[in-house]
Amino acid sequence: MDHHVHRNARLGPSVLNFDGWYYRWRKQYGGMGTDQLKELKRLQKENERLRKAVSDLTLDKLILSEAAKGNF
């Protein structure tokens, strides 16, 4: 333990930040295989695309609603 503290003090705070990031990443994704990570990435991209589509449609609906009321 003492050696670990000394190593971190010598290497500086950037290593401590990396250590925290690495362990968070490992906890979240560590048990996934390559295929699972690819599928996760694909689903994240699809989710982003669908969110944008919903946002665009919501805006279109708002514009049409205002135009129908004569407020546009």
Give the pLDDT band of residue 8 (cuts 50, 70, 90). Answer: low
Residue 15: count of CB within 10 angstroms of its CB: 13
- 72 in the same domain as 37: yes
- Structure tokens, 35: 């295929």
Number of domains in the chain: 2
User: What percentage of the chain exceeds 90 in pLDDT?
Assistant: 46
Give yes or no: residues 12 and 39 share one domain: no
Spell out the residues 6+ positions from residue 66 whose beta carbon is closer than 8 angstroms to its own.
72
> Structural domain of residue 15, as residue ranges?
1-31
Q: Are 63 and 72 in contact (CB under 8 A)?
A: yes
- Tell me: the pLDDT tens digits for 15-34? 557 777 788 888 887 888 88
Q: Are residues 17 and 39 in the same domain?
A: no
First to last CA, the chain: 68
Co-location of 37 and 27 in the same domain: no
